[in-house]
Structure 1
Amino acid sequence: MDDLKLALILNAVSPRVGGVLVRGEKGTAKSTIVRALAELLPAVEVVPGCRFACDPAAPYGQCPDGPHDGGRETRRARLVELPVGASEDRLAGSLDLEKALAHGVAAFEPGLLAAAHRGVLYVDEVNLLHDHLVDLLLDAAALGTCYVEREGVSVRHAARFLLAGTMNPEEGELRPQLLDRFGLTVEVRASRDPGERAEVIRRRMSYERDPDGFAADWAAREGELAARIAEARERVESVRLPDAALKQIATVCAGFEVDGMRADLVTAHAAVAHAAWAGRDRVTTRDVREAARLALPHRRRRDPFDAPGLDENKLDELLDQFPDDPDDTDPPDGPDDQGDPTDGDQRHQSEANDQNRPRPDHNAQSAADQGPPDPGQTDQGHAEPDQAAQGAAESFQVAGAPYKARLFSVPGVGGGAPGRRSRGRSAKGRTVGSRTPQAKVTQVHLMATLRAAAHRGWRQGPVRATDLREAVREGREGNLVLFVVDASGSMGARKRMGEVKTAVLSLLLDAYQRRDKIGLITFRGDSAELVLPPTSSVEAGAARMRLLKTGGRTPIAAGLVKAAEVLAVERLRDPARRPLVVVVTDGRATSGDADRAAALLKDTACVVVDCESGPVRLGLAARLAVRLTAPVVDLSDVAHVMKAA
């Protein structure tokens, strides 16, 4: 947890750092430690009665509660939690449209962005946040202002906050735009040290027995840490960033080929905060190194298949180009002591162990820690020990680089989660009609409302609540794309699996970009296997696809039956998300009743990718497509269309 504690503390010292993204496996106390930050933040001065936490020294000029009379009061900085399923009105605030239209009164109810101003906005499972909320967060984070506009009525207020998010990468990745908005990122894993794990259990059980007593035991040391953060925050404005350190930052960011200039700015702010935390009045090489370790890993990814991380050896090589800094030492109470409220002897022993322990390589992690192997590695490097014993029936083909994918979509108009694949009703998009409101109106269809009022008769008064009509909009939705891939011996024998893997990886990348959920079923031998349950993690899908083995018979029927079973479960979990089944096969069925299995998917949108090759073709995949009432696309044609696009 050392890196996570340091990242949170640097943000507490200097909010300009830009927040923290915590990535890690489940059950590692990610949420607990982020919530604990609120107790350590310095208090803030606010205008009494202002719902938007205006600073008395510099109140926001367009604050809806202004003008302010100059009073002031002190309160704790807030940590506001944004639920994944929150509505747009809950986040940004809402106008009472009935009062606005019928009575001309702009009654505004502040949202979570207003509550988080000058505090912390925390999003648990931030990678599952809906796109329309992500768009609002991006706007507020970029401008420091929240705009709420409804049919010509406009309200704006200040919204500057420290953005903290936690996520489990297995459940999907973040949009690149939002990922870049987090100043620092940290990978968290549960300790593998039995002694540390035992201490975690001991403290947790102690808290459960007596929560108040446990908190009281640690209150003094938490107070010391909070006081030190307050001192560092006062010191941060006087810390000097010399030209030499600035050149180091620029060299490191250029060396890692990060996009844009935000990485340089974040690294500079983090290095200044680190120097203030260490009690220095100028930034040194050590500060630059620690800042770069936290600010760059998530900014050097080129596509969703790249694992986040930073080559620390390369970082040292880039910094070694500069002469040694004589002041590059820590005082006795330096940044390695991050204010962890533990007993002194235990803390110092832990620090000594940390110094003797080699730093983890963020790019090379053990299979036990990481779960599925790194998708960036070749298949041969992960062949199982018993591969030789399985004989020639098992074969591996390495996938090529993915290319831009052709669009397959679900016919009709759906109502699933916002995305970029199929047509769907959405809060955003083009207006296609109007309807009588079913609940509170958020998007008024002005012309339909006026027509309803005119039909009722203007002599009976102005626009009434019963005249309101809401807009019906059509945009794009995300789907569940379920890949059913033939991994039988006929696929591997003709060396086709490499091309198949490349095509499926390309479609996986396309699914990520279009905000889809993905699943992967393979069939070979006598059965079908759900290799990847439906998820938003394209990285996990790519890892399993790259390791796919071929061999045995071709049980197409088993693959289709397994697909029907998976879809039945997913309809219960997410009934609004429409599925798209992509069957990748040469059509050579050697067992099972494919006709009866295909009937299970008669109401499901399907696409058949024909992998048959050679001078003589039997057209078996086309026959399967007829049974599924699905279009058939030749693998070579799909590849050509994708590359041409």
Structure 2
Amino acid sequence: MSTPFPFTAVVGQDDLRLALLLNAVSPAVGGVLVRGEKGTAKSTAVRALSALMPRVDVVAGCRFSCAPATPDPACPDGPHEAGAGVSRPARMVELPVGASEDRLVGALDIERALAEGVKAFEPGLLADAHRGILYVDEVNLLHDHLVDLLLDAAAMGASYVEREGVSVRHAARFLLVGTMNPEEGELRPQLLDRFGLTVEVAASREPDRRVEVVRRRLAYDDDPDGFATRWAGEESDVRARIVAARELLPSVRLGDGALLQIAATCAAFEVDGMRADIVMARTATALAAWAGRTDVLAEDVRQAALLALPHRRRRNPFDAPGLDEDRLDETLEEFAADDDTGGPDGSDGSGDEEPDPDGPGGGGRPPQDGPDDGSHDGSHGGDNEGGSDGSESSGQVPPQGGSPEDDGQAPSPGAGEQSPVRAAEPFRTKMLSVPGLGEGAAGRRSRARTEHGRTTGARRPRGGLTKLHLAATVQAAAPHQRVRGRSGPGLVVRRDDLRQATREGREGNLVLFVVDASGSMAARQRMSAVKGAVLSLLLDAYQRRDKVGLVTFRGSAAEVALPPTSSVDAAAVRLESLPTGGRTPLAAGLLRAHDVLRVERLRDPARRALVVLVTDGRATGGAEPVALAGRAARLFAADGVASVVVDCESGLVRLGLAGQLAGELGGSAVTLDELRADSIAGLVRDVQGNGRISGPGNSRRAA
């Protein structure tokens, strides 16, 4: 194994280092979620932490890391007698994003179980991580079934394996550390809340600090062992400080005044549940121990709030994590107590005392901000490319009379352009799904053959066996027992007898939004309702773990406002800044969407697409715009792409153009009202057969 980059050599990233060290002092804090752009030392700092963790005593030969003083009575390798054990470094176990369920929780040796009649259990990563660190890089991309297993283990401190007639339970208490790039999608709220602390990291914009990052990384790459040796003294000091803080931790006093500030802060920021209060209390206590104090000060409570609350105050998936520090200071000042939240003179700890350079966020070490995975190009990874930021729109909102297109007059390009309007309140939408049975990435939208779900049959395994169909395996082996000379209680099973269970679950899809932003959509400020509907569909896509893309068309052309991505947040941001106005190049929008799907099929052929066209069906600009739009729509039908048209036409007189367009697409039309889950007008919204949606929306399609 190569020598890891020293923790104390990471440049900058004070909050990241502090959060990791607090968890090393008090694992009960509950782990760290590190959010930030690529190349900001996220993985480097986490991997370096394992070298600073105190050693652990384990029972010799126990695969489940039982403590020799208090061995687990239910340990599968037990029973163990209390006594002396062996000392080893704390482990840092990495959970790959594409890991299987068996790799995470453990697996039964099927062949030995059937042939020898023994329960041979092979522990998984949860057992390896017990009393250590479980690290998940790109945790936001982790499959839902693995997230569910992690949630269960984190909540109960144990892993339960129930399968193929075998029941195994073992302790699984670990420090959960995850890193993620928010551009690639957000975490499920349940998993987000399981992380005790969260930190946001970004590359420094100071040239001197960036120079130091590059200098240290190059020195490490040239001679990892020599570089680590030069930092051995600092590493030893931090390791000793962690041990001292752990020993001091039981003596730290969390007074009533500090508890009142913690409770008031959580209430003021309206966080859900009581986990935030508990995490803040444990974090403030760890901060005091790390600073070498036995009393929790107001500054500890404030720092604990900055680390424990930002990811818990999100009211919906599109809210950016963060905390209003002015409001935090006002709350702490309002509920300040003189007895135990301040210094000896009753102050809040920030009076005339000399600041502790080794206190929270300090550590007396060089400023740090190191590289991640050997590269540090300073790129932002933001959403600055493509799409419109609204800066080009300059006109005013037209009067209620509507746009020139509503009067049948063709405006000149750019005429009637409006500033972006805010989206209406989102709502719960009907379920839209792709027809047939797919084989895409796990999700919650359309039916698919998956490794998880209900068992629908059995087949011979292709490659390694992952899910045994026990009845089919026994049935295949039973006729050959006499020929194979069976004499004992177990079946004589050969490789050819094994059968893989086939299962059906749900997959995530690519939901491509094609949004008409022309003048006809802007009439009577309809765009606010349209944006609200698209935002509602984006929320639905977030919950169902879809990829999303956004194509918009107006004026004389169409553009890809957001290429297909797992970051639904990015799509919501682009939607909010979408300006409107001009002609309706419907054909251009459809052709651009068709091209996006063509490229995406090459990148991810297993992921099926659902096109959501948001329009009133009008087409203007160029020669024969309606006929051209019809020919473009038929391309989707020819490719078998599932589609739905959200009909935004309003008024007493309706032309039904959206319904005709849905017929050309091979899909169905649904009004904004029928899109709501509580709408009486549309009780059924399942895509059937060739991608059509059954329900009242079909009645508007032209024959």
State if a TM-score over 0.5 links the two structures. Answer: yes
CA distance, structure 1, for counterparts of residue 188 and residue 591 of structure 2: 34
CA distance, structure 2, for counterparts of residue 408 and residue 147 of structure 1: 35
CA distance, structure 1, for counterparts of residue 393 and residue 514 of structure 2: 26
Matched, 1:604 2:634: no
Percent of aligned pairs with the same amino acid: 64
Q: Which residue of 1 aligns with 2:493?
A: 464
CA distance, structure 2, for counterparts of residue 640 and residue 175 of structure 1: 22
Query: Match for 1:540 among 551, 558, 570?
Result: 570
Q: Which residue of 2 aligns with 1:357?
A: none
CA contact (8 A) 1:404 1:642 kept: no
CA distance, structure 1, for counterparts of residue 474 and residue 298 of structure 2: 66
Q: Which residue of 2 aligns with 1:363?
A: none
CA contact (8 A) 1:610 1:633 kept: yes
Task: Write the mapping of 1:170-181 to structure 2, written as runs, cut at 5 A.
Answer: 170-181=183-194
Give the residue type in structure 2 aligned to 1:585: T
By how many angstroms is 1:451 displaced?
3.3
CA distance, structure 1, for counterparts of residue 664 and residue 564 of structure 2: 25
Matched, 1:323 2:352: no
Q: Which residue of 1 aligns with 2:543?
A: 513
CA contact (8 A) 1:417 1:577 kept: yes
Matched, 1:280 2:289: no
* TM-score, reference length from structure 2: 0.83
Query: Match for 1:242 among 244, 255, 261?
Result: 255
Q: Which residue of 2 aligns with 1:38?
A: 50
By how many angstroms is 1:478 displaced?
1.2
**Residues 79-120 of structure 1: CA deviation (Å, up to 9, x unaligned):** 111111111111111111121123212222221111111111
Q: Which residue of 1 aligns with 2:59?
A: 47
CA contact (8 A) 1:479 1:580 kept: yes
Q: Which residue of 1 aligns with 2:405?
A: none
Secondary structure of the structure 2 residue equivalent to 1:185: strand
Q: Which residue of 2 aligns with 1:149?
A: 162
CA contact (8 A) 1:278 1:333 kept: no
CA distance, structure 1, for counterparts of residue 419 and residue 433 of structure 2: 32
Secondary structure of the structure 2 residue equivalent to 1:476: strand
CA contact (8 A) 1:403 1:643 kept: no
Please report the RMSD computed on the Cα atoms of aligned residues, expressed in angstroms: 2.5
More divergent stretch after superposition (585-594 vs 233-242) = 585-594
By how many angstroms is 1:71 displaced?
3.9
Q: Which residue of 1 aligns with 2:362?
A: 338
Give the residue type in structure 1 aligned to 2:22: L
Q: Which residue of 1 aligns with 2:630?
A: 595
Secondary structure of the structure 2 residue equivalent to 1:237: helix
Q: Which residue of 2 aligns with 1:387?
A: 394
By how many angstroms is 1:455 displaced?
5.0
CA distance, structure 2, for counterparts of residue 640 and residue 164 of structure 1: 37
CA contact (8 A) 2:417 2:582 kept: yes
* TM-score, reference length from structure 1: 0.90
Give the residue type in structure 2 aligned to 1:387: S
The unaligned stretches of length 5 or more in structure 2 are 1-12, 370-378, 397-413, 684-703
Task: Write the mapping of 1:95-134 to structure 2, written as runs, cut at 5 A.
Answer: 95-134=108-147
Q: Which residue of 2 aligns with 1:625?
A: 662
What is the aligned length?
616
CA distance, structure 1, for counterparts of residue 522 and residue 550 of structure 2: 18
Give the residue type in structure 2 aligned to 1:629: G
Give the residue type in structure 2 aligned to 1:567: L
CA distance, structure 1, for counterparts of residue 676 and residue 164 of structure 2: 46
Describe the shift of the 1:577–1:463 C-alpha distance in structure 2 as closer, same or farther (beyond 3 A). Answer: farther
Describe the shift of the 1:47–1:597 C-alpha distance in structure 2 as closer, same or farther (beyond 3 A). Answer: same
Q: Which residue of 1 aligns with 2:271?
A: 258
Matched, 1:415 2:415: no
Secondary structure of the structure 2 residue equivalent to 1:190: coil
CA distance, structure 2, for counterparts of residue 442 and residue 418 of structure 1: 16
Give the residue type in structure 2 aligned to 1:409: S
**Residues 498-518 of structure 1: CA deviation (Å, up to 9, x unaligned):** 111010000000111111111
Matched, 1:18 2:30: yes
Q: Which residue of 1 aligns with 2:526?
A: 496
Secondary structure of the structure 1 residue equivalent to 2:359: coil
CA distance, structure 1, for counterparts of residue 265 and residue 89 of structure 2: 37
Secondary structure of the structure 1 residue equivalent to 2:631: helix
CA contact (8 A) 1:608 1:633 kept: yes
CA contact (8 A) 2:298 2:332 kept: yes
Matched, 1:430 2:454: yes
More divergent stretch after superposition (61-70 vs 295-304) = 61-70
Query: Match for 1:442 among 457, 466, 487?
Result: 466
CA distance, structure 2, for counterparts of residue 558 and residue 150 of structure 1: 53
More divergent stretch after superposition (103-112 vs 1-10) = 103-112
Q: Which structure is higher in helix share?
A: 1
Matched, 1:220 2:227: no
Give the residue type in structure 1 aligned to 2:391: E
Task: Write the mapping of 1:469-488 to structure 2, written as runs, cut at 5 A.
Answer: 469-488=499-518
The unaligned stretches of length 5 or more in structure 1 are 351-367, 374-379
Task: Write the mapping of 1:287-326 to structure 2, written as runs, cut at 5 A.
Answer: 287-321=300-334, 322-324=336-338, 325-326=342-343
CA contact (8 A) 2:393 2:579 kept: no
Q: Which residue of 2 aligns with 1:636?
A: 673
